[in-house]
Structure 1
Amino acid sequence: MNAHLLTHLRHVDLAVPDYDKQLDFYSGIWGLTKTAEDSGISFLAAEGSPEQYVVRLRKADEKRLDLVSYGAASPADVDTLAERLLAGGVELITRPGQVATPGGGYGFRFFDVDGRTIEVSADVAVRQHRKVEERESIPVKLSHVVLNSPDLHKTRAWYERHLGFRLTDTLSHPKMGEAMHFMRISSQHHSMAIAQGPHTALHHISFEMRGIDEYMRGSGRLLRAGIRKLWGPGRHMAGDNTFTYFLDPHGNTVEYTTELEILDEDTWHPHVYDFSQPEVSDQWGTANPMNELIVKESFNDVDRGVFVAPPV
């Protein structure tokens, strides 16, 4: 297994046909701030985050996940990771070098085992950010990303072997078996989770709110605006975080959350939670019941970007 070279999740990049509608959603009611835009590509920041952007949108003929980006502590760590991936037979899209997106930095891209484009970078300039105030119901930062995989265990093993992710918890069902692995690269319960799905796709992107009041105010704002709610509000058992899931204009699931568990890595032992028990999915009992419709929406469309690097 690799040493712990990844530090945190930086951003998730989406490509969509109806770019203007998607940009209006994320820079409007969802609460992100557009910081740069250039001919069909835009960069959206969270006000409380030092990251230059947490979502990138790109106009494209087909909907796809362009890439998921992670941080490393130094250019030396970026080089070390690239060398280890090459030695492990991982296909690199680019070799380590200067990054041309806002904030610059030093990084490279490669395909994961399911064909997603992953980016790792260091030395990205810190964005001028601020403390999100009480009752201000906008995202503080990007919390985590969940990815659908047709082979849950193969994908978990790949991320453990090549990128140093650690298993935190697992969701299981008496009839379906193991269905989701929560994976971490820090003391945060998960930066990524892998869900068993029929095809490779984005499951959801999650955004951290300031606190429960701001999380509820944000959830209510979207409901009043008629944004389609998928599931919530509630509180998961794995991660102990709150959740309300909505659909963006292109059918990607996005989540408002808060209070995701910070754990002691020295003493942590992974749990297996039976999500046929209602309190596992929602400790509070306030969310609409998990059903086949929610699961189907979370599977998302087949990702058209598998083993195809995004053009930018």
Structure 2
Amino acid sequence: MKIEHIAVWTHDLEKLRAFYEKYFGARANDKYINPKKGFASYFLSFDEGCRLEIMQMPGIPNSENDVYKQFTGLVHFALSTGSKVEVDRLTEVLRGDGYEVVGEPRTTGDGYYESVVLDPDGNRIEITE
């Protein structure tokens, strides 16, 4: 078994697509639109591993979770850069472009080198080596 994709709701589909394309090299498929439901989505593919589906539809409420606190359910996902140097570089690029870094680059107790940033919707992304 493998995780095929993870999905997140957004209120700004194009902004979120552009973020993952620019900073993480994602490639979007053709936009899927269901006009009857007002639903639209993209599947974002990366060099390898599972895909990220970003979805938009009227009536989806904002999350009530606090992005600074942990809670049950899906809390973050990790994107691997391949090196510590790239973790540091990408973290600084994102910070410089105004994205919030909520976890500075560090080696965790279980041996991962990572930082944690918030995407435009406040989703936590671990940037790992």
* TM-score, scaled to structure 1: 0.34
Partner of residue 12, structure 1: 6
Cα deviation, residue 231, structure 1 = 1.0
Cα deviation, residue 38, structure 1 = 1.7
Which letter maps to 2:41? I
User: Is structure 2 residue 87 aligned with structure 1 residue 215?
Assistant: yes
Partner of residue 126, structure 2: 255
How many residues align structurally?
A: 117
Which letter maps to 2:42? S
Q: Could you list the runs of 4 or more consecutive aligned residues of structure 1 that deviate by over 6 angstroms after TM superposition? A: none
Cα deviation, residue 205, structure 1 = 0.9
Which structure's relative contact order is higher, taking Cα pairs within 8 Å and 6+ residues apart? Answer: 2
Measured in 2, the distance between the counterparts of 1:252 and 1:201 equals: 12
Cα deviation, residue 35, structure 1 = 3.0
Structure 1 residues not aligned, in runs of 5+: 1-5, 66-195, 259-312
| Contact in 1 for aligned 2:82/2:128 (Cα 8 Å) | no
Partner of residue 62, structure 1: 60
- Provide the aligned C-alpha RMSD in A: 2.4
Structure 2 residues not aligned, in runs of 5+: 34-39, 64-69
Cα deviation, residue 37, structure 1 = 2.0
User: Is structure 2 residue 23 aligned with structure 1 residue 29?
Assistant: yes
User: Is structure 2 residue 43 aligned with structure 1 residue 43?
Assistant: yes
Alpha-carbon displacement from aligned partner over 1:199-222 (angstroms, at most 9, x marks no partner): x44211111111112222221221
- Kindly report which structure 2 residues correspond to 1:99-110, keeping only aligned pairs within 5 A, or say none: none
Match of 2:78 among 176, 195, 206: 206
- Kindly report which structure 2 residues correspond to 1:44-123, keeping only aligned pairs within 5 A, or say none: 44-47=44-47, 49=48, 51=49, 54-60=51-57, 61-62=59-60
Cα deviation, residue 56, structure 1 = 0.5
Q: Percent identity?
A: 21
Which letter maps to 1:9? I
Give the direction of change, closer, same or farther, for the CA distance of 1:64–1:34 in structure 2 (3 Å limit).
farther
* TM-score, scaled to structure 2: 0.77
Give the direction of change, closer, same or farther, for the CA distance of 1:26–1:12 in structure 2 (3 Å limit).
same
